[in-house]
């Protein structure tokens, strides 16, 4: 690493202290005399050398973001810097014309930019071409006049392209310094700063400590010495909880099975995020060192919003997935028992409003397991009205729904679990029975993000033990010394009786395995998948969209993973359901995880058979 620094530093001119110095033939400094008169004759410049930015890696140390050496072509102005404008521009234009001929590319730099740089920062080279391509670099290295030089800088690089782009984020170059006269400790080239994701949150840790470079000019303005006073110290490395193989698989499955959506997989026993995918994504390399206007415009105008991290910055109505939490609250408060039955008619009236089941025919009397398996709306309307809103709100909140998980990202969606205070603020009334009925099936004002949903299912999978959801394992130095760690910790213990725990698992497994279940397409051979489908509408009536969900954990008897898959339907597409669109995403994902070597032909045939006979929800 040090040899790279030296190679970089010795090629770059430096900065100023404003002291008169006399340098003898041996290079020693005599009689430093800081006076205004001598500042115009002899100067020592002190420049800051940017440190290479630390890496962001997956849990196994595989790089997700790193720095690479980049080469800029620059004009090196002769000293002393006492030319008039016409001579400055003539000299610069000659070098630019020569560079155009060498590289066979157009180079556009305004006269004002040239003059501003010369007058304010002429002791430093003026970059005219940034981040040369390998083919261009080979041409340049064939030989250059001394007025043109190669400048080495650091550029952020994302070796996996779009992988985990919404989590990692991207960097951007800090504002140029050429608009003002050079000062002590100015950088010899601009640093990158985090603009999104982990790059932004851990910007200070990733930056490292700048080095110091001294360069001295005599009273005639000629350079006499150059010295590295302090080596830069590379930034810390951020070690995430992600598994890059699982992240890649999640992104692949999501891209192949949706136009827009989110997919989250947690390590159920610890709460660590193993993968958190949002589709579509973007390539953070497009933003380095600066994003081209045409590229940014393309991203901004894309109707699929590829810059939006749907897995954690978007929240959706949960639909019937919320029935899991309503049942949990009803059972744990003792308001209903495992054997308690309610009728499942095709419709149910609350006041002057009739709420319908997604099935047009009644299903008779059902207990909790049967009602969750069939996802009977009218059964859950009755249960919710029996227990009231407070227990539902309490258990949903304790499971982490409607509040940020606390992972280190900006603008995480808080979601929403409506309370009386919320209803008074937004609707100028408290919660009514109709609101409770809507709450029973995850409609109304409830909003949940995919990461919150996976987190809640993780808590249920662990019998109420709420492990703090984590995205970063530790921060460490380049020589692997840990400077900050984020170990597993229990955020809350939600009391769950063994009877309720066992019932919830059986009911969630029945959703995927029972003949009346709604998630047959989430099945994985040899694995019991516990989960719940959900389908909910949101948006204006004329452009209403559907959020299709499947969330749960597996293996059901000894959970290793908790997950949430969210499929965003097209406006006014009524064919989208949790069982037909979200459940297959989970089925395909875990078939790859548990049987990566297995040929896909048999699975594909089985999926088509299940698709033709699948039971889908419409709520």
- Across the range 27-55, mean pLDDT stands at 63
**What beta strand segments (E) does 248-306 contain?**
261-267, 272-279
Nearest to 531 by CA among 453, 438, 600: 453
Report pTM. Answer: 0.88
Determine the Cα angle at 538 with ends 535 and 542, to 5°. 120
* Cα–Cα distance measured from residue 239 to residue 371, given in angstroms and rounded to the nearest whole number: 43
* C-beta atoms surrounding 24 within 10 Å: 8
* Cα–Cα distance measured from residue 393 to residue 397, given in angstroms and rounded to the nearest whole number: 6
Domains recognised in the chain with CATH numbers = 2-240 (3.90.1310.10), 244-613 (3.40.710.10)
pLDDT band with cut points at 50, 70 and 90 for residue 615: low
CB-CB contact of 538 with 545 (8 Å): yes
Cβ-proximal residues to 618 (8 Å cutoff; 6+ apart), any chain: 358, 535, 574, 577
Tokens 């909003």 locate to 447
**What beta strand segments (E) does 218-260 contain?**
223-230, 237-240
List, for residues 377-427, the tens digit of each pLDDT value. 999 999 999 999 999 999 999 999 999 999 999 999 999 999 999 999 999
On the question of pLDDT at 39 being above 70, the answer is: no
On the question of pLDDT at 67 being above 70, the answer is: yes
- pLDDT of 547 reads 97
Give the strand pairing for 56-57 and 237-240: parallel
Which of 95-99, 346-350, 421-425, 474-478 is the least confident region? 346-350
On the question of pLDDT at 120 being above 70, the answer is: yes
* C-beta atoms surrounding 424 within 10 Å: 12
CB-CB contact of 545 with 437 (8 Å): no
* Cα–Cα distance measured from residue 601 to residue 67, given in angstroms and rounded to the nearest whole number: 42
pLDDT band with cut points at 50, 70 and 90 for residue 68: very high
Six-digit token pair at 298?
Answer: 């393309």
On the question of pLDDT at 552 being above 70, the answer is: yes
CB-CB contact of 509 with 528 (8 Å): yes
Q: What does the CA dihedral 598, 602, 605, 608 come to, rounded to 10 degrees?
A: -40
Which of 36-40, 105-109, 213-217 is the least confident region? 36-40
* C-beta atoms surrounding 451 within 10 Å: 29
CB-CB contact of 582 with 550 (8 Å): yes
Burial class (CB in 10 A: 0-12, 13-18, 19+), 20: buried
- pLDDT of 38 reads 40
- pLDDT of 13 reads 36
On the question of pLDDT at 57 being above 80, the answer is: yes
- Across the range 577-594, mean pLDDT stands at 97
- pLDDT of 609 reads 52
Which of 59-63, 178-182, 183-187 is the least confident region? 178-182
On the question of pLDDT at 452 being above 80, the answer is: yes
Six-digit token pair at 239?
Answer: 């070690």
Six-digit token pair at 149?
Answer: 């030089």
Cβ-proximal residues to 501 (8 Å cutoff; 6+ apart), any chain: 463, 464
Six-digit token pair at 440?
Answer: 């029973």
**By percentage, how much of the chain surpasses pLDDT 90?**
74
Helix (H) or strand (E) holding 554: strand 545-554
Six-digit token pair at 285?
Answer: 């390399």
- Across the range 532-542, mean pLDDT stands at 92
Six-digit token pair at 529?
Answer: 């998948």
Phi, psi at 483, each rounded to 5°: -110, -15
CB-CB contact of 76 with 223 (8 Å): no
- pLDDT of 533 reads 98
Distance spanning both ends of the chain, measured CA to CA:
58
Q: Cα separations (Å) of 200 from 240, 411, 584?
A: 14, 12, 35
Nearest to 523 by CA among 610, 601, 458: 610
CB-CB contact of 300 with 287 (8 Å): no
CB-CB contact of 423 with 429 (8 Å): yes
Cβ-proximal residues to 292 (8 Å cutoff; 6+ apart), any chain: 286
pLDDT band with cut points at 50, 70 and 90 for residue 124: confident
- pLDDT of 182 reads 85
CB-CB contact of 274 with 241 (8 Å): yes
* Cα–Cα distance measured from residue 561 to residue 262, given in angstroms and rounded to the nearest whole number: 16
* Cα–Cα distance measured from residue 14 to residue 147, given in angstroms and rounded to the nearest whole number: 17
- pLDDT of 55 reads 98
Six-digit token pair at 450?
Answer: 């995919």
* Chain centroid to CA 506: 34
Phi, psi at 136, each rounded to 5°: -70, -40
* Cα–Cα distance measured from residue 608 to residue 300, given in angstroms and rounded to the nearest whole number: 37
Helix (H) or strand (E) holding 473: strand 472-476
| DSSP-derived secondary structure for 565-599 | EEEEPPTT-TT--IIIIIHHHHHHHHHHHH-TTS-
CB-CB contact of 532 with 517 (8 Å): no
Report whether the peptide linkage leading into residue 236 is cis, meaning its omega lies within 30 degrees of zero. no
* Cα–Cα distance measured from residue 441 to residue 88, given in angstroms and rounded to the nearest whole number: 73
* Cα–Cα distance measured from residue 148 to residue 130, given in angstroms and rounded to the nearest whole number: 13
pLDDT band with cut points at 50, 70 and 90 for residue 604: low
CB-CB contact of 560 with 269 (8 Å): yes
Q: What does the CA dihedral 532, 491, 272, 560 come to, rounded to 10 degrees?
A: -50
CB-CB contact of 299 with 307 (8 Å): yes
- pLDDT of 29 reads 35
Which of 19-28, 181-190, 356-365 is the least confident region? 19-28
- pLDDT of 608 reads 53
- pLDDT of 605 reads 52
Six-digit token pair at 475?
Answer: 């921060």
pLDDT band with cut points at 50, 70 and 90 for residue 126: very high
pLDDT band with cut points at 50, 70 and 90 for residue 477: very high
- Across the range 139-156, mean pLDDT stands at 88
List, for residues 303-361, the tens digit of each pLDDT value. 999 999 999 999 999 999 999 999 999 999 999 999 999 999 999 888 888 888 888 88
CB-CB contact of 469 with 405 (8 Å): yes
Helix (H, G, I), strand (E, B) or coil at 602: helix
* Cα–Cα distance measured from residue 435 to residue 414, given in angstroms and rounded to the nearest whole number: 20
């Amino acid at each position: 690493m040090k040899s790279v620094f030296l190679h970089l530093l010795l090629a770059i001119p430096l900065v100023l202290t404003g002291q008169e110095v006399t340098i003898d033939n041996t290079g020693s400094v005599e009689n430093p005399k800081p006076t205004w008169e001598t500042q115009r004759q002899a100067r020592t410049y002190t420049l800051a050398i940017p440190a290479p930015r630390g890496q962001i890696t997956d849990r196994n140390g595989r790089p997700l973001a790193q720095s690479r050496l980049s080469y800029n072509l620059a004009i090196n102005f002769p000293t002393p810097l006492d030319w008039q404008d016409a001579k400055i521009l003539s000299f610069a234009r000659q070098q630019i014309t020569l560079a155009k001929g060498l590289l066979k590319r157009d180079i556009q730099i305004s006269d004002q930019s040239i003059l501003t740089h010369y007058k304010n920062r002429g002791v430093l080279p003026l970059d005219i071409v940034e981040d040369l391509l390998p083919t261009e670099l080979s041409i340049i290295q064939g030989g250059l006049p001394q007025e043109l030089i190669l400048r080495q800088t650091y550029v952020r690089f994302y070796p996996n392209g779009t992988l985990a782009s919404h989590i990692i984020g991207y960097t951007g170059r800090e504002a140029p310094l050429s608009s003002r006269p050079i000062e002590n400790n100015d950088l010899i080239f601009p640093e990158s700063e985090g603009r999104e994701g982990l790059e932004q949150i851990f910007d200070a840790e990733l930056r490292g400590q700048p080095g110091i470079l001294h360069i001295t000019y005599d009273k005639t303005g000629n350079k006499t010495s150059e010295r590295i006073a302090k080596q830069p110290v590379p930034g810390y490395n951020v070690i995430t909880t992600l598994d890059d193989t699982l992240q890649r698989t999640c992104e692949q499955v999501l891209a192949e099975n949706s136009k827009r959506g989110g997919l989250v997989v947690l390590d159920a026993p610890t709460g660590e995020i193993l993968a958190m995918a949002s589709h579509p994504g973007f390539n953070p390399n497009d933003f380095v060192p600066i994003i081209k206007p045409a590229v940014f415009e393309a991203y901004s105008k894309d109707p699929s919003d590829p810059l939006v991290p749907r897995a954690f910055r978007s929240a959706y109505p949960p639909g019937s997935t919320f029935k899991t939490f309503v049942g949990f609250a009803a059972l744990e408060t003792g308001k209903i028992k495992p054997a308690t039955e309610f009728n499942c008619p095709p419709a149910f009236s609350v006041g002057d409003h009739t709420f319908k089941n997604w099935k047009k025919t009644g299903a008779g009397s059902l207990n909790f397991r049967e009602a969750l398996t069939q996802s009977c709306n009218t059964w859950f309307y009755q249960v919710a009205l029996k227990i009231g809103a407070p227990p539902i709100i309490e258990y949903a909140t304790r499971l982490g729904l409607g509040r940020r998980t606390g992972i280190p990202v900006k603008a995480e969606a808080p979601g929403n679990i409506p309370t009386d205070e919320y209803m008074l603020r937004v609707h100028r009334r408290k919660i009514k029975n109709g609101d409770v009925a809507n709450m029973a099936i995850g409609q109304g004002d409830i909003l949940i993000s995919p990461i919150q949903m996976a987190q809640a299912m993780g808590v249920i999978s662990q019998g109420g033990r709420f492990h703090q959801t984590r995205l970063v394992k530790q921060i460490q130095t380049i020589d692997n010394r840990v400077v900050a760690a984020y170990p597993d910790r229990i955020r809350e213990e939600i009391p769950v009786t063994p009877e309720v725990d066992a019932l919830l698992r059986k009911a969630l497994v029945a959703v995927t395995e029972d003949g009346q279940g709604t998630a047959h397409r989430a099945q994985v051979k040899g694995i019991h998948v516990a989960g719940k489908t959900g389908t909910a509408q949101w948006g204006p009536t004329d452009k209403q969209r559907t959020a299709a969900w499947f969330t749960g954990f597996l293996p059901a008897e000894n959970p290793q993973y908790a997950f949430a898959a969210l499929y965003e339907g097209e406006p006014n597409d009524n064919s989208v359901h949790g069982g037909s669109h979200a459940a297959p995403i989970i089925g395909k994902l875990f078939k790859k995880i548990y049987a990566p070597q297995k040929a896909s032909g048999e699975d594909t045939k089985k999926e088509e058979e299940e698709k033709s006979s699948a039971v889908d929800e419409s709520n």
